Chain A
């Protein structure tokens, strides 16, 4: 083979390798989904139960111990796990309980003080059926926009005598308990997020934990 032919073959091989690498990169990007579900709902007689907690600051051992965050807990507020990817069954009822230990931040848009997308249109706030909360008392929102689910979480008042700072927080400290039920759609990957600018100390309250998956947002794998 002539020198020119060898050069041509070399260039062609390099071009193919580059194309394959680009194809792999794009393919992996498009097919990559969050890792194994960090927390699966607990099956119950009338659906799946999901227990969560919100706290003003993560565990002291967390890479960001000052960041506000959601956690997965069990029914008795034990076994705190720092996870925001939840696996839930398709086309079924999910009963959510959120133990809310954080203070009040307030909503930018009072419109989202009303719950939407949940069974019955009401949620339980410390056992009391509730449709809407005072916008200034909101601490967080649990919202799954693609499912139309949005539930406001009341904050612990500033006057609380026994607040909890860092996770894990025992139920003996001041908290609000929010319960609601929604129905999952078909299989798929859905994102959820908080809509309150609750990332204290960051730009507009929407930096840090609001922009980092694993704190105030995550995914729901409906399987």
Chain B
């Protein structure tokens, strides 16, 4: 009777399952947020697909070997349980394992670094951002001011008006300057692929290149107190004309409050007398 070649069987099962499942996982990943709401969001979705696609065969190798071992190597005669043969090192397998895993890890490190510069602009980069998208027109600066428990938004190029809600123009590079008036919050506009911590006294810059009009959800992503779960809002990417009309309305509506605001500054830190009760 021929000896069964378990290694060949495992490799075959792994190969077939990888060929079937990897494209399915890559396709399914395109439906996972953040989606296609901005250039950065689309890039992040692509990156998620690539990473999931790469990790699928690795995960399958573990799962296939595990299940195969449970089935093929189970002890059928429970009355005669004997210890198996001693396990010894196999130079070929060890070399193959080290080379394969090292190659995967180095590739992921390189891919991640390159893509972070391309798609990582949506993440908070501190006051001196490295990943800065290029644009033919200057980025529209929007200051995101977090406080317990709401976000407000200030537009320095529109008279420094501050608003309760966020609207931004389509097909435009936006520079979010995220800061906080009290504790640490996090500005997360996930359909835009934007997530930046809001730290008191810090100008945390995140960029987004908007695409077509859409509505997006804004959440605080840093546990910030009893009403953290209620610190959310809905924002909108609108056409250039709609944005011009909206910001003009906001300037008129909030003219009385705008007169009271301090001059625009990237570090919006309250006067000490207002920091505590």
Contacts from A to B (Cβ < 8 Å): 68, 105-114, 116, 131-132, 134-135, 145-146, 148, 191, 193, 195, 197-206, 210-213, 217
Set of chain A residues within 8 Å of B96, measured between Cβ atoms: none
B138 within 8 A of A: no
Number of A-B pairs, beta carbon distance below 8 Å = 88
CA separation between A52 and B33, bound complex, in Å? Answer: 44
Q: How many residues of B contact A (CB 8 A)?
A: 28
Contact with A along B188-232 (1 / 0, CB 8 A): 000000000000000000000000000000000000011100100
Set of chain B residues within 8 Å of A106, measured between Cβ atoms: 271, 273-274
B50 within 8 A of A: no
User: How far in angstroms is the closest Cβ of chain A from B146?
Assistant: 10
Set of chain B residues within 8 Å of A198, measured between Cβ atoms: 277
Q: Is the CB of B145 within 8 A of A109?
A: yes
User: How far in angstroms is the closest Cβ of chain A from B139?
Assistant: 23
Set of chain A residues within 8 Å of B230, measured between Cβ atoms: 145-146, 191
Q: Is the CB of A109 within 8 A of B147?
A: yes
Q: Is the CB of B277 within 8 A of A201?
A: yes
CA separation between A211 and B271, bound complex, in Å? Answer: 22
B119 within 8 A of A: no
The listed residue (A131, A146, A206, A213) touching B183 by CB distance below 8 A is A206
Nearest first, the 7 A-B pairs at minimum CB distance are: A205-B277, A200-B277, A114-B257, A110-B260, A205-B276, A132-B256, A108-B270
CA separation between A73 and B262, bound complex, in Å? Answer: 37
CA separation between A138 and B183, bound complex, in Å? Answer: 21
| A113 with B260, Cβ < 8 A, contacts A206-B225, A217-B226 known | yes
Contact with A along B244-277 (1 / 0, CB 8 A): 0000000000101100111000000011011111
Set of chain A residues within 8 Å of B274, measured between Cβ atoms: 105-108, 197
User: How far in angstroms is the closest Cβ of chain B from A94?
Assistant: 20
Q: Is the CB of B261 within 8 A of A114?
A: no
Q: Is the CB of B275 within 8 A of A205?
A: yes
User: How far in angstroms is the closest Cβ of chain B from A184?
Assistant: 18
The listed residue (B150, B271, B273, B277) touching A195 by CB distance below 8 A is B150
Closest to B148 in A: A206
Closest to B259 in A: A132
| A211 with B277, Cβ < 8 A, contacts A111-B257, A135-B260, A145-B150 known | no
